[in-house]
Structure 1
Amino acid sequence: MDDLTSRVVTRLDERLNHTGPEPVALALSGGGDSMALLDLAAAWTKARGRRLLALTVDHNLNPDSAAWTRFAAEAARAAGADWRGLLWTQARGGPGVPARARAARHALLAEAARDAGARVILTGHTVDDVAEGEWMRAQGATLGRLRDWSASPAWPQGRGLMLLRPVLEERREALRDHLRARGLSWLEDPANGDLRYGRGRARAALAQQESPVGLSASAAHVSAIPKPCDHGWAGVLPLSRDLPASTLAAVLLCAGGGATPPRGERLAALQARLAAGEDFTAVLCGARIEASGALVRAMREPGEWRRRPVAPLDLTPGVAAVWDGRFEIVTDKPGLRVEAAAGRLAQLSDRDRAALSGLPPAARAAAPVLIDSKGRPRLAWRAADVRALGLRRLALASAVFTGETTQEDGLFQTLHGETPPSDLFSDEDC
């Protein structure tokens, strides 16, 4: 086993289960990085008795994209992997194409991986991608930093999914050397050298650099992750007053249920008010922050629905649905739809109102209710299995921020606080 293979095998062994029926998903573009990862991951999954599912996204932006997809399919099957092609049907020109394509790719990959039962998606990012990202950020781009182990950025499609980048510390050319030694070919996407786009300009600028910038330890580790609270099942998350900006942004994103984290002056101002010990109420990123002494909490701001209404969600019996980016709901009863409790609290039963009584008023209004065919509301927990997504989402982000060595097996464990106490919505209260 050569040094590259040995390093990648070690990284896969550290994160992935060595046995289990769930497939390991892999994002396969057909480029040199993903093709090398396909070869390395196929050998690992074969040795460990795992299934490998290669997923290829056709962005429909290049006349040759269909041929590229066929190339990837043939390569995956030749490596012994299952394969599935995914098509971005909303491709169009104009500004921001790379960012829109990236977001669509993550969403399509996440949906396909979840459908297949996978919990981890392998991607072929290298240390060269890290250097290019640093260069682009220095030019004003708002790209996130790449880490070897991170939560899927697609929301809610990527809930519970992690991305593993086992070649993130390797050079791009070293992966191509591996392919040459194995007699394997790959594709070159001309868009990667297109100077109209930031990635192409970054590659051109860094082409003469002998050793790219490596992973930044300071970027990969932050502290003061909030601990779960008793009201996590209702979407209430605790905050510490001394949170770093990146962690504060993650908490607000999880509480608000959105996909775009807060940045810039508003986030910095909120962080400063918390650190100064102020008592206040503020709204940012769809989340409401209530600070009073040592008690600081974040929850959904129901008033935001006046600006960005959340459409009622019709439930299909037996099918999990995500409402407002914050709750996953499954019911076996037909004819139900999900709406917010705001404006309906007075119509709830005494027992339902009692169950919400310990929550902050905003959290009560932001709770999901099920509406039957006669228009009668009841708290969603009474007639469905409801899981709060914010706690798990924050826990996965926390593991990344703190550098904690979490593994695939941990993604299947039920977290304390995701569901309410067993006696709060017991059958005898229904």
Structure 2
Amino acid sequence: MHLAADWASRNGRRLLALTVDHGLNPDSPRWNDLAARAAAGAGADWRLLHWTGPHPATGLPAAARAARHRLIADAARAAGARVVLFAHTADDVAEGELMRADGSSLGRLRAWSPSPVWPEGRGLMLLRPLLDVRRQDLRDWLRARDAAWIDDPANDDPRFARSRARRALAGTSPPPTALAAPATARGLLAVEDDVIRLSRHADARTLAAALVCAGGGERPPRGDRLAHALTRLRSGEDFTAALSGARLEAAGDRVLVLREPGEYRRHATPPVPLPQGLETVWDGRWALTAPQSGWVAVPAAGRLNQLSDADRAVLSALPPAARAARPVLIRNDATAPVLAGDAHKAQALVAQRLASALDGMTHETDLGAFTHGATPWKHLFSSADIRE
């Protein structure tokens, strides 16, 4: 926060500091007060966020992390921010590597990465500029500024994997942090609204990201199922498979990844109310805004014959399986649905999400195009990146 405040002051940028109170420690009111005073002293705005509701008896660190990121993402979007800074250090990187070696599925820290929550984190990137700095060096720097910090006692609780890793590495020097260059998106050919086109030579990372983004959820495909799908693609087999809520269709040279419409039949899909003038994310894939009250969004599945001739003409240009997964709107329980479109603002989020997942957004300005409604995905991947 102090480093960011110095930078913000020099560059005329507003800085908002966020404190998340997880409700897990009786000292949290004192910590909140210290954070508020520190932010005021640094010239930053400050907000306190609370994790409310029931907390799980098991998997508490992971649940707290997910809740924390959702709260931060909501607050950042409300403030109009596109980038959130975190002070993770080289020690955090080393601890994470040790935890993964012990079987943890914890993700790797990267200097620049998308928010890990969806859809709350849409259009939001995380920046970690201190991954090559030791934790002790930061503390020495704070002491020199006569600035205080908080040591969370949970970091010394051996019940948690992070605490055990920190103890195991105490007194050692972590290896130099190698900050990898953005990886290419091998095999990505195009994104057209909510349909992704791949080549049969797409790599595992690209295929996994495409499946998650087209499916609209957060859970990646299981490793064995992903490997099997890649093998079938490489072999030239024509097939259809469902993974992560997405449909993978391979026929000749055409490989499509789109929403699996059968999910609407397998799982109840209640109508999603659309408050007047407020953007609402539907099915994790579309941002919808209704100009009047009374509208709800539902999938086109089972309603295609009720659409107008003009709406059916629009859908006829899509791959058959993609038609049922498009959002349609119904107002005040009317029986005739209408296809979400220009009159009822509809923006596909798949390209934006895939670009951030595959390191296609490398600057803050890349986020702005999506924030203001455009979807110029092609400039986010160089021509070399999207070739086979």
Q: Secondary structure at the match of 2:256?
A: strand
Asked if the contact 2:274/2:295 (under 8 Å) is kept, the reply is yes
Structure-1 residue corresponding to 2:20: 57
Asked if the contact 1:370/1:379 (under 8 Å) is kept, the reply is yes
Structure 1: gaps spanning 5 or more residues: 1-37, 419-430
Rounded Cα–Cα distance in structure 1 between residues aligned with 2:203 and 2:304 = 36
Deviations 1:65-84 (A, max 9, x none): 22212211111111100001
The 3 A distance-change label for structure 1 pair 128 and 60 is: same
- State the Cα distance separating 1:102 from its structure 2 match: 0.4
* Greater Cα shift, 260-269 or 361-370: 260-269
Q: Counterparts of 1:301-320 in structure 2 under 5 Å? A: 301-320=260-279
Structure 2: gaps spanning 5 or more residues: 379-388
Superposed CA RMSD in Å reads: 1.7
Alignment partner of 1:384 is 2:344: yes
Rounded Cα–Cα distance in structure 2 between residues aligned with 1:55 and 1:159 = 18
Q: Counterparts of 1:19-98 in structure 2 under 5 Å? A: 38-98=1-61
TM-score, normalised with respect to structure 2:
0.92
- State the Cα distance separating 1:327 from its structure 2 match: 0.2
Asked if the contact 2:111/2:179 (under 8 Å) is kept, the reply is no
Equivalent position to 2:189, from 209, 227, 252: 227
Structure-1 residue corresponding to 2:368: 412
Asked if the contact 2:17/2:47 (under 8 Å) is kept, the reply is yes
Q: Secondary structure at the match of 1:282?
A: strand
Alignment partner of 1:157 is 2:111: no
Equivalent position to 2:246, from 284, 287, 300: 287
- State the Cα distance separating 1:270 from its structure 2 match: 1.4
- State the Cα distance separating 1:239 from its structure 2 match: 1.8
- State the Cα distance separating 1:87 from its structure 2 match: 0.3
Rounded Cα–Cα distance in structure 2 between residues aligned with 1:77 and 1:310 = 46
Q: Counterparts of 1:142-291 in structure 2 under 5 Å? A: 142-212=105-175, 214-215=177-178, 217=180, 221-224=183-186, 226-229=188-191, 232-233=192-193, 235-291=194-250
Rounded Cα–Cα distance in structure 2 between residues aligned with 1:216 and 1:272 = 31
Rounded Cα–Cα distance in structure 2 between residues aligned with 1:212 and 1:206 = 11
Paired letter, 1:298: V
Paired letter, 1:259: E
Structure-2 residue corresponding to 1:421: none
The 3 A distance-change label for structure 1 pair 245 and 75 is: same
Asked if the contact 1:130/1:215 (under 8 Å) is kept, the reply is no
Identity of aligned residues (%): 55
* Greater Cα shift, 147-156 or 237-246: 237-246
Equivalent position to 1:393, from 346, 353, 361: 353
Q: Counterparts of 1:364-379 in structure 2 under 5 Å? A: 364-373=323-332, 374-379=334-339
- State the Cα distance separating 1:211 from its structure 2 match: 2.7
Rounded Cα–Cα distance in structure 2 between residues aligned with 1:216 and 1:319 = 39
Deviations 1:124-175 (A, max 9, x none): 1111111111111111111111110001111000000000011112111111
TM-score, normalised with respect to structure 1:
0.83
- State the Cα distance separating 1:212 from its structure 2 match: 3.5
Q: Secondary structure at the match of 2:249?
A: strand
Q: Secondary structure at the match of 2:190?
A: coil
- State the Cα distance separating 1:287 from its structure 2 match: 0.3
Asked if the contact 1:254/1:326 (under 8 Å) is kept, the reply is yes
* Greater Cα shift, 308-317 or 150-159: 308-317
Asked if the contact 2:200/2:233 (under 8 Å) is kept, the reply is yes
Rounded Cα–Cα distance in structure 1 between residues aligned with 2:342 and 2:200 = 35
* Greater Cα shift, 75-84 or 58-67: 58-67
In the alignment of these two chains, the number of paired residues is 373
- State the Cα distance separating 1:222 from its structure 2 match: 4.5
Rounded Cα–Cα distance in structure 1 between residues aligned with 2:365 and 2:257 = 29
Rounded Cα–Cα distance in structure 2 between residues aligned with 1:341 and 1:202 = 49
Rounded Cα–Cα distance in structure 2 between residues aligned with 1:252 and 1:194 = 37
The 3 A distance-change label for structure 1 pair 382 and 96 is: same
Asked if the contact 1:299/1:363 (under 8 Å) is kept, the reply is yes
Paired letter, 1:101: A
Equivalent position to 1:333, from 292, 306, 321: 292
- State the Cα distance separating 1:416 from its structure 2 match: 3.2
Paired letter, 1:304: E
Rounded Cα–Cα distance in structure 1 between residues aligned with 2:165 and 2:264 = 40
- State the Cα distance separating 1:223 from its structure 2 match: 4.0
